[in-house]
Structure 1
Amino acid sequence: MARKSKKGWTAAGAARTAREYRVATTEFLRRAPIARMDRAQRLLDAFQLHQAHVGHDEAAALMLITGLGYSEDWHPEHWYAAGEQVVDDEAADLAGADLYILSPQMLDVVAAAAASLTFDDLSLLRADDLPSRSGLLVLPRPLLVKTVNGDVSDDRAFLWRGPVSMRMADPSSGGFVSHPAVKISTYFDRDGPVQVDSFRQLLAQARTEGTPLPPLMLDGIQCFPLEFEPSNIHRKNLEAWATGARTVGASQRELLADQGYDSEVVVSGDYVSGDEIDDVDGRFMLRFMYAFWRLCEQQIAQITEADVNHSARVTAARVQAPPEVRVVELRPSRDRSPAPDEDGENLDRWNHRWIVRMHKVRQWYPSEQRHKVIYRGPYLKGPADKPLIGGEVVRGVTRQHS
């Protein structure tokens, strides 16, 4: 069990919260009609975004359907039917996934590592990078992300499944071919700092219908092909799509403003505009998860099992989910005496420790004939007997481009 930090985080408490979050969210997805209506509306919004990009209804529908991991032959009768299928599948995947939690310090490390990943790095992702076929990663606090369409999201959990079969357009044949992929869903925090008017309305409607919103709210779902080397055409298409998403997002916010909705409301006093992570190409969820998977493999992360008692088993059994929780923390560095550091600075004068000097390299593995993303560091600086502070790792990371 992890020691209690000055912020009050413990592995046991975080594991209990993650189990409860998973169960409540799964039950909501399984039984709440508003979950299907909300997903149907989100699918329609995504379709309109694709339509603005390609200018053709059928092509936009194919992009949406195959991007969610469904076959191009799937033709639901209406948006509600599509939303119902997506939500039912999501609930099943959520209940069956292995459950992981991050410590606050490890969250800082993963966020910093994700920021260092380039578009080319993502092409190195393979199925054997995944620590399990499916997993739900619950964060210790919301992660503020400025999405590609200009909105701000408070991400709290990520669900992955892989490898799955993704149908992709084949320019040579004019048809579709199957390609291995990883499917990732993002969940935002119901009680997080971002509380726009439209969400407040959804919150009130759910209460009226007798199905209050769960702690984790399903947001985006996307499939990303594995071992996929993007061509110049793919890069240009992604840039064009991102540009279109920003344009559509701005138009939607203007429309909401004309209707009297405020789409910029946040309620947390800790939030400062500009502090959020900027997702410029819609790939943040993949960058974050890839960084997490690579750090786990390199043993920068220390993974332990949380205690499973009777209460934990009863909670998980409500949705037939496994009760085990994997706790992912920053592996302790070797104790260092408070002697002068590498810069000749005496560590005695510091009253805390902090994380510094993490950088990324693309390491060639001759035995496997491929490159892998490797992180050097991070290591802890400061007296070994002083508390570790979080938040500095993002400022301490350096980017090394291949």
Structure 2
Amino acid sequence: MVSWARDPGTDGAANWFTFWLGPHPEQATESRVFDRADDVAATISGTLAAQLPAAELFYVSDDMTELAGHAATTLTDYRLHPEDLPAQVGLMVYAHPPVNGTATDNHDGITAVSWGPGRGGLWVHTWATATPAWTTGAAQIGRVLAELPHEQVVARAIRGSQQPPLDPDADPPTTEQAADSFAAGLLPNLRRAPIPPSFLPAHGYDWRGLTPMEFTDMQGWPGYVPSNGEGMDADAKIALERTILATWLLMGQTLVRSEQLTAPRAARRRIARDDPHLDPTVRYIDLRRARTEPSDHGDIADEPRASTREYRHRWIVRGHWRNQWYPSRNDHRPIWIDPHLAGPEDKPLLGGERVNVLRR
């Protein structure tokens, strides 16, 4: 991602954002961050080129992803503070899409989030991988067109726009007809930049949108700049934003275990060749294991009674948010109370099930 962000050529982020997003997308002016004088594509690509090399890397485990999605459903509006972030600049990858409804016809559900300082407070980017059909279909045609001279591709797009739409019930179009029709759909893009040769970012993650988030009361994050053909509905967008926020808040609590992992030797060598200053470590974010068997020490009155019951699942013991007062910043911060995993470690997890626990 760093190499792509820094690449000034046609396959780099600057050309990619110009081609797909454009200098002045309509949605950008609704964010209260950009105006008509801004080159939005250049601003976003330039910010990523500066921030991605400095990003701390996080990987969120399956169990932690499940908990974040569950906790987000009860998270009330909250004023995010800069110190709530696990890092000033970061890139976080979820083990699986944390929110249903973020996938499109061309992309899988969103699984990666990057963030860093930006105009208005904090810029949060979301990323997803392309579906196999999109990668092997449209993207393949796009790569073929990218090998042709730009003027020739524009001419084909104009020619395709003057032809009647392809009839899905008719005979399959020729390769030339399919290419012309596909180029016609990209005519506005072609008039502002060449086709990126890889069509999709070479690192495998496609940019899905930017939320310029202000450090104010979160009543739906203000503004949103989606990628071309976003297609995500409003409910899924809000759920994703709250899940990201819940993940950050949970990462600062003792119920979460953070382990520092180093990239394999071959990967470290490749990273060092690209940039010896890049950090090859990743923080693995997981839930702490709860004790599910009788304790071997402690007061007898506090020890749970031995049980021969066999459980067939793991579950998340019910938790809740509590507003904890922090005198140091003269404000409250949501604290997630008492969630933990229970049950045998080798059993499947029941996501989001409610379990009531009676304690002495």
TM over 0.5, shorter chain: yes
Is it true that 1:387 corresponds to 2:346 in the alignment?
yes
Distance 1:360 1:94, change over 3 A: same
Match of 1:109 among 54, 63, 67: 67
Between Structure 1 and Structure 2, the one with more helix by share is: 1
Distance 1:351 1:31, change over 3 A: farther
For 1:92, give the aligned amino acid: A
What are the Cα deviations for residues 300-321 of structure 1, in whole angstroms up to 9, with x where unaligned? 2111111355423223234433
Match of 2:312 among 351, 355, 372: 351
Is it true that 1:202 corresponds to 2:139 in the alignment?
yes
Deviation at 1:295, TM superposition (A): 0.8
| 8 A Cα contact 1:358 1:397, kept in partner | no
Which residue is equivalent to 2:44? 86
Is it true that 1:218 corresponds to 2:211 in the alignment?
no
Which residue is equivalent to 2:237? 282
| 8 A Cα contact 1:142 1:189, kept in partner | no
Q: Distance in 2 between the 1:328 and 1:91 partners?
A: 26
What TM-score comes out, normalization by structure 2 length? 0.65
What TM-score comes out, normalization by structure 1 length? 0.59
Q: Distance in 2 between the 1:347 and 1:150 partners?
A: 49
Which residue is equivalent to 1:183? 123
Deviation at 1:133, TM superposition (A): 0.9
| 8 A Cα contact 1:362 1:372, kept in partner | yes
For 1:137, give the aligned amino acid: M
| 8 A Cα contact 2:292 2:343, kept in partner | no
Q: Distance in 1 between the 2:108 and 2:281 partners?
A: 28
SS at match of 1:280: helix
Distance 1:323 1:31, change over 3 A: farther
| 8 A Cα contact 1:35 1:87, kept in partner | yes
The alignment's C-alpha RMSD in Å is: 4.2
Q: Distance in 2 between the 1:308 and 1:335 partners?
A: 33
SS at match of 1:387: coil
Distance 1:318 1:373, change over 3 A: farther
Is it true that 1:306 corresponds to 2:261 in the alignment?
yes
Q: Report percent identity of matched pairs.
A: 22
Distance 1:30 1:362, change over 3 A: farther
Q: Distance in 2 between the 1:356 and 1:101 partners?
A: 23
Deviation at 1:288, TM superposition (A): 2.2
Which residue is equivalent to 1:369? 330
SS at match of 1:348: coil
Is it true that 1:95 corresponds to 2:82 in the alignment?
no
Which residue is equivalent to 1:13? none
What are the Cα deviations for residues 215-236 of structure 1, in whole angstroms up to 9, with x where unaligned? 2111101111113476xxxx8x
What are the Cα deviations for residues 162-196 of structure 1, in whole angstroms up to 9, with x where unaligned? 3x441xxxxxxxxxxxxxx221000012357xx5x
Q: Distance in 2 between the 1:142 and 1:112 partners?
A: 13
Q: Distance in 1 between the 2:82 and 2:352 partners?
A: 28
Q: Distance in 1 between the 2:352 and 2:233 partners?
A: 13
For 2:38, give the aligned amino acid: H
Q: Distance in 1 between the 2:213 and 2:98 partners?
A: 21
Which residue is equivalent to 1:39? 17
Between Structure 1 and Structure 2, the one with more strand by share is: 1
SS at match of 1:155: coil
For 2:48, give the aligned amino acid: E
| 8 A Cα contact 2:106 2:131, kept in partner | no
Q: How many residues align?
A: 291
Match of 1:159 among 100, 108, 114: 114
Q: Distance in 2 between the 1:280 and 1:150 partners?
A: 18
What are the Cα deviations for residues 261-319 of structure 1, in whole angstroms up to 9, with x where unaligned? xx8xxxxxxxxxxxxx9752733443222111111111221111113554232232344
Deviation at 1:156, TM superposition (A): 1.8
Distance 1:335 1:303, change over 3 A: same
Distance 1:34 1:165, change over 3 A: closer
Residue ranges of structure 1 left out of the alignment (5+ in a row): 1-21, 51-60, 77-81, 167-180, 254-262, 264-276, 339-343
Which residue is equivalent to 1:54? none
Distance 1:322 1:191, change over 3 A: farther
Residue ranges of structure 2 left out of the alignment (5+ in a row): 147-196, 296-304
| 8 A Cα contact 1:356 1:378, kept in partner | yes
Q: Distance in 2 between the 1:226 and 1:95 partners?
A: 24
Which residue is equivalent to 1:14? none
Which residue is equivalent to 1:336? 293
Q: Distance in 2 between the 1:131 and 1:323 partners?
A: 18
SS at match of 2:280: coil
Deviation at 1:87, TM superposition (A): 2.4
SS at match of 1:283: helix
Q: Which has more radius of gyration?
A: 2
